[in-house]
Structure 1
Amino acid sequence: MAFSYGFFNAKNLDRVYTAEDFTSYLSSLICNGILDTYGDNFSVTTSGNLSVVIGTGKAWIGGHYFINDMAYTLDLRQYVDESLSRYVIIGISCDVSDSVRACKLEVKSGTAATSPSVPVFENTDTKTYLTLASVRLNGGITSISQSNIKDYRSDEKKCGYVKCILGKCRVSEMLLKMEQIDTLLAAYNKQISDLQYTVDLLQTKVDDLTGDIAATGQCGGDIYYVLYSNGKLLLRGTGAMYDYNSDNHSPFRDNETIKTLVVSSGITHLGEDAFMDTVNLTEVSLPDSLTSIADSAFMQSDDRIGYVHGLTNIVIPDKVSTLGGSAFWGTAITSITIPASVTAIGKYLCRDCLNLTEAHINGTLLGAYMFTGCTNLKTLTVSAKVKSIGECAFTYCSSLESISFYGTTSQWDSITKGSNWDGLSGMDVSLSGLTKIQCTDGHFEYDSTSKTWNEVND
């Protein structure tokens, strides 16, 4: 027969497929080898006597899989000769013959000799091998040392590792490359931010010489500000800004003349309510010395539906560890990246940021109510370093259909998640769009009937 096709639903049993149909299809996608993201990758180690331990692992051979989910001790005493040495090899076989139809662990013994040679598994039309290791058993040996074991797992001719669909790289190498690209992008973005910061500082020096000063004052123990008539606000000094509140207003609150903000190097803390309701403050340059942004620092409190103002973008420096609650509430930011340095995030960090379309979490957590009301958020990437997601983090994120998680399904499972973290278990779930969590080795799909997340292996 010259042509074949599949797979289709059967009607009156007119379409019948066998397991081999599926394994043939899988073998066109998954190369033979060990899956290097599962367990111990079938490591072969000495147990201190005449046994070796085969570690946990998963292998693919011709579309069939073989899993070892518990360390297995293999006794090699029967292969020891009293006077001569020999090699044994250890491997995984897949036998598709009608009488067997199984994958298993196998040992093949070489001939005992003064100068023994290493035996070889021979593939046949129905049986294929992956060779894990060889073990030299010297004459009269009483225990096996690790130096007697030769690892063949990286040898593409004998074993090898499962490669991606393009056959270019191992799975872990692909993930590593993704992380390297992310790191490079972060470095480039930091360089751009640093250059922009330098330009902003140079411009402030020009303003010092040529600009008209509209206001000056103190906003920290060792921090002073200059507001120029062109709308640029410069903060100079060291240490922390003052924290403000409803009884003690910031000198910048409700100031409609401020358009840009440059914070000089040496300042470590932006105070609470510091730039609250500065509706025309759209651009901010922050220094590497900054370690914290306090509650409501840039919050826009206007509660008119569909109205945002203030910041249009924010680059959070890499040393910032604390982001206060409501810090960016109601601002016009379109994207945000939480750096790996952040270890504390207050409630409502980006609430009602209606222009926000993408967010990247490189730190270890997502705060409670972090993106509540971000109705246009569509892209969210989450680092494998994340350990916790706060309650109601994605309520009313109607455009967010999926999350890209740079870790495995088991890593996602281990993340501590607050109540209604996904915005899907509350009273009103009609405005929550989240249905999929994409991981590196599979994904989770949301079942609206059972209100559960179910794992799907890719």
Structure 2
Amino acid sequence: MKKTLTAIILSLAAAATLSLGMAACGNPDDGTPAGATNGLEYTLSDDGTYYTLAGIGTATETEIIIPETYRDLPVTEIEADAFRSNKDITAVTIPASITTIGPAVFNDCSSLESVTFEGDELDSLGNFAFINCTSLTEIALPEGIPTIGTYTFSGCSNLTAITIPASVTSIEASAFTLCNRLATINYRGSRTQWAGIDIADQNEALYEANINYNS
């Protein structure tokens, strides 16, 4: 009986030690708010005031919900190439806290069908951001971005509709090349504002689509 009791006590002590060890190492999902995707990879800014989403990390979900905060600090950027060539992601929700999306973030995410921006402001959208997202059918860009960069939507062969904010003043070369199914542009500005946008070469799809102004 004493031996059995001793064995039980030792077993419980070992379990407690293991638990403490795991807590010391840290839970990779710790700090992610409820409802957001666990396991994503983050980088803390040099000044320690915000996080950048760096990659898919250990996340296995196909519908990614990026949190506004991580470990009680805002998530304000998505790093270049963060989800590049990920073939599993089908949907992404981007919170209002994100102000910068780096280059090639969703480059060649061929299963990506839906991108939802929860906020009304976005300061920067990187070149190649959605290149070759062949399953993407429509997207609404938030206000704030001044430029749709080179190859941003190039190769989005099933893109049929896009909402472009009035803040856009230039669309760089090949931003919409090979977007052969683009049929509808919902532009949030006026016809006069659209005429003032500097549209570079290799964006023929923009001239062939129907444009709805102030929408």
Q: TM-score, normalised by structure 2?
A: 0.67
Q: Matches of 1:392 and 1:217 in 2, distance apart?
A: 50
Offset at 1:280? Answer: 5.3
Verify: 1:225 aligned to 2:28, yes or no: yes
1:275 alignment partner in structure 2:
56
Are 1:337 and 1:362, in contact at CA under 8 Å, matched by a contact in 2?
Answer: no
Q: 1:310 is matched with which residue: 88, 96, 113? A: 88
- Aligned pair in 2 of structure 1 residues 398, 290: CA closer, same or farther (>3 Å)? same
Could you list the per-position Cα deviations for residues 260-285 of structure 1 after superposition, in whole angstroms to 9, with x for gaps in the alignment?
A: xxxxxx862112xx338x89541322
> What amino acid is the match of 2:65?
S
CA contact (8 A) 1:224 1:236 kept: no
Going from structure 1 to structure 2, the CA distance change for 1:344 and 1:224 (only over 3 Å counts) comes to farther
Alpha-carbon RMSD across the aligned residues, in angstroms, is: 3.5
TM-score (norm 1): 0.34
**After the TM superposition, which residues 58-457 of structure 1 pair with which residues of structure 2 at under 5 Å, given as runs?**
225-226=28-29, 233-234=38-39, 239-240=44-45, 268-271=51-54, 274-275=55-56, 281-288=61-68, 289-300=74-85, 309-331=87-109, 332-338=111-117, 339-363=119-143, 364=145, 365-420=147-202, 422=203, 424=204, 432=205, 435-440=208-213
Deviations 1:86-143 (A, max 9, x none): xxxxxxxxxxxxxxxxxxxxxxxxxxxxxxxxxxxxxxxxxxxxxxxxxxxxxxxxxx
- May I ask how many residue pairs the two structures share in their alignment? 176
- Aligned equivalents of 1:353, 1:282: Cα separation in 2: 15
- Structure 1 pair 287/217, CA: closer, same or farther in 2 (3 Å)? farther
The offset of 1:398, in angstroms, is: 1.3
The AA in structure 2 aligned to 1:356 is L
* 1:204-254 CA-partner distances (Å, limit 9, x unpaired): xxxxxxxxxxx9999xxxx96259xxxx8436998349xxxxxxxxxxxxx
Secondary structure of the equivalent of 2:139? strand
Give the corresponding residue for 1:184: none
| Contact residue 176 and residue 206 of structure 2 kept, 8 A | no
Question: Does the 8 Å contact 2:42/2:53 carry over to 1?
Answer: no
Greater length-normalized contact order (CA 8 Å, ≥ 6 residues apart): 2
**2: CA distance between counterparts of 1:216 and 1:389?**
49
Q: CA deviation at 1:402?
A: 3.1
- Cα displacement (A) at 1:359: 0.7
Deviations 1:287-314 (A, max 9, x none): 222110011101117xxxxxxx221111
Q: Larger radius of gyration, structure 1 or 2?
A: 1
Gaps of 5+ in 2: 1-21, 31-36, 69-73
Q: In structure 2, what residue type is equivalent to 1:297?
A: A
Alignment of 1:7-18 (within 5 A): none
Contact kept, 8 Å, 1:352 with 1:372, in 2: the verdict is yes
CA distance in 2 between counterparts of 1:403 and 1:310 reads 28
Q: Secondary structure at the match of 1:438?
A: strand
Q: Structure 1: 5+ residue runs without aligned partners? A: 1-214, 242-265, 302-308, 425-431, 442-458
- Which has the larger displacement, 285-294 or 338-347? 338-347
Percent identity over the alignment? 26
The aligned amino acid for 2:95 is P
